[in-house]
Structure 1
Amino acid sequence: MMAYPHTRRSVLAAVSMITLLSLTACGSERPSVADIKGQIAEMSGDTEVSDDQMNCLAKAYYDSDLSDEAVRFLVEAEDVTAISPEDLSKEDQAASKKLYEPLVKCLAPAE
């Protein structure tokens, strides 16, 4: 009977560790195109950004050279306009500069 509390604590500790590791693993993945699009839709508010444009923008971010952490940072931000270049690594700053043209193309009116 005395071993039960120790065994129970060990099991609880193991379950906690597995949960922590699985959350960490999930947190390290790149957000999906749908997740990115959701953030774009939320941040675009009343502006007229079409569904096709949002898909294009989301795919551009997803396919970019931005790190998974930077993309996740953008998706989880409450206000993306408050993010400054200093919030990103040097590599992500360079990758974000490469995104300018693809993002502008996404927002160009359809011909």
Structure 2
Amino acid sequence: MKKTLSAAFVVAALTLTSACGGGGGDRPSQDKLAAQLKKSTNGAITGKQADCAAKAIIDSDLSDEAVKAVAENNTKYKPSDQDTKAQGDVSKEIGKCITPQTPSSTPAP
């Protein structure tokens, strides 16, 4: 349950880019983005999960402005059509970071 809730929080952080307004700027660092994701989820995700999600966002096709909006918790940023499309792709990658991976098929002793 906590993992599902955590994923929902991170996806909610991504939807910060679906409000209105916004300005330009350079792409924030992965560390800054991870810190904001962890803060905005009130610690519901681990540092490792936040780092993984931040890397997925940084490596995504989201514009610098959209990534900056997430890093700055800017709820007034309005995404472009390209950012809206990229959100779907990066959400899948973030889900992989948050959802526990099933171990490989190892026979039980």
Report if TM-score (shorter chain) is over 0.5.
yes
Q: Within 2, Cα distance between the matches of 1:106 and 1:46?
A: 15
Residue aligning to 1:109: 100
Higher helix share: 1
- Give TM-score scaled by structure 2 length: 0.65
Residue aligning to 1:32: 29
- Give TM-score scaled by structure 1 length: 0.64
1:14-42 per-residue CA deviation (whole Å, 9 max, x = no partner) reads xxxxxxxxxxxxx6210000110111011
Q: Within 2, Cα distance between the matches of 1:42 and 1:63?
A: 21
User: Which runs of 5 or more structure 2 residues have no equivalent in the other structure?
Assistant: 1-23, 104-109
Paired positions, count: 79
What code does the residue aligned with 2:30 have?
V
Q: Residue 58 of structure 2: which of 62, 65, 77 is its match?
A: 62
Point out the structure with max Rg over C-alpha.
1
RMSD across aligned C-alpha pairs, in angstroms?
1.9
Residue aligning to 2:47: 51
Give the superposition deviation at 1:88: 0.6
Task: Write the mapping of 1:72-111 to structure 2, written as runs, cut at 5 A.
Answer: 72-77=68-73, 87-110=78-101, 111=103
Runs of 4+ in 1 over 3 A off after TM superposition: none
Structure 1 residues 29 and 42, CA, compared in 2 at 3 Å: closer, same or farther?
Answer: same
1:36-87 per-residue CA deviation (whole Å, 9 max, x = no partner) reads 011101101042x112111100100110000001100111125xxx568xx2
